Structure 1
Amino acid sequence: MERALSFEKTTGEFFLLVKDLLRRYYKPDSSQGYQKYQARELKLMDEFFKLKEEIHNALCDSIDTRTVMEKITKLVAIGNAYINEKVGISKFIFLKNEKLQSWPIFKSIPMISDATSGIGSSNLETTVMPYLTALAEFRERVREIAKDQKVIKILEECDRLRDEVLPELGVRLEDRTMQTCVKLVDRETLMREAEQKKAAEAQRIAEKEQKARERAEKEAAKNALKNVSPQEMFKTGDEAKKYSNWDGQGIPTHMADGQEVSKGMRKKLEKLWETRRKDFDKAQSNGAAS
């Protein structure tokens, strides 16, 4: 189930991004809307059509869902790679290709169906997007000024607009490298994502605090050992459970089961004993000096 939800989100987000780019760069009333494909675009379309055929074959093969998902995921990856190459250049006409937008498989996925519908039609998106785009561009300029002037409060308000205010209205802003991407998304979806993000952040903080406590406990235990003499180090705590007999210096001679400590083990224990002796003497000297 988790994999299916992840797939739906990834593919849906891709088409929402495509719609945002088409709004910005696709100019059907000018020559920019009818640009000639270059070698890169031709290669990309070949890859798309090949994947389309593979998806069709997988669907005909007793509806091989796993393969279909893998091929669509690959298609999205190829598209995203191209978009990252071409941001800021009005060469996205190929993304409006009807063969790509109208595959029946996409229509069966709610988030993708929503994302691919309404391009160029007179609907809510067409009405509100000019205003949202203007708001996003204004926010982007404000953020740049705030960064230059190091005005943290303004940056925080810009983040609040993105993370709290607009999601309540069903709008997602994504701060990308070159510009802010604007997406219309179901409000319930955004609210659910916000809750998941808060939960993940709370878990991250809890894990960080737990690790800090563990480090503190480990350090405290280490400091406590500094006050344990070498003669007692193998007779204290968990170490004492490992052995049953010790010599005059406190070095174990027999294991807990009564078996005599081997020569190799004896050398290791003596080395640990000597290290502890040096640390103990140093700690005692520092304590006396203070």
Structure 2
Amino acid sequence: MAEAPTLGALRRQMTAALAAAGVDSPELDARLLLAFALGCAPGDLLGRSDSAVPEAASAAAHALLARRIGGEPVGRILGEREFWSLSFRLSPHTLEPRPDTETLVEAALALLPERGRALRLLDLGTGTGALLAALLVEFPAATGIGIDRSEDAARAARDNLARHGLAGRGMIAVGDWGTALGGGFDLVVSNPPYIRADEMAALAPEVRLHDPPLALVAGDDGLAAYRAISADLPRLLAPGGIAVLELGAGQEPQVAALVEGAGLTLLGPARADLGGVARALCARRP
């Protein structure tokens, strides 16, 4: 009978296989997948390099490894993804919340430094509810609404708010952007679809094959969602209210023109994400 591999050896093997497959973060992915196979937290792997890995766990780790090499994102494999230090369960009908979108939370906090205000928040296209949940955590006196066109995504968002003890301050509804809502919101945030239809084929398989097209594609020019949202922002926002919109790469000029055309005042250039991409466009209703 072959000797059981040690945890350290298996992790090195998985890391090498992921690196050879061109995965961007092979060490991190190997650690997350191995911990999942063992049924423990990633931090529990520390100091256990010489521990033998049971045969069943080793087989499970190799099965997970094959899925990742095949292009399935780690978040989809694990069924959840971290955002703003909170964990969110995914569904096939939600995007994976990504670090770039945390730029919107940073922008909102910079523009609204009084954390104790009883703000009214609105998240258009809420998906997992990650943006709304992060803002409710940072503004403990705030209440908020998340809207999504997908009933399945709305169900996932409700579950995630409840998971973090936020269901009492956050409501999730199904709708066509904010058309069914009254106004008076102090902060409106959105990570809308912004991919052009002809760009889908060129997207990474992690996105193209695993994220829902409804949450990705916004017409032939990628601006359809921005047009609808921008036109409604003057009605949705309270006087002095702030909108923070996520941008796709290179979209700042077009979206800024739509927002200004709707009568809002831009609050400087878009805030860049960690990769230097203009990511969070901020505007205020006069």
TM-score range relative to shorter protein: under 0.3
Q: TM-score, normalised by structure 1?
A: 0.21
Q: TM-score, normalised by structure 2?
A: 0.21
Bigger fraction of residues in helix: 1
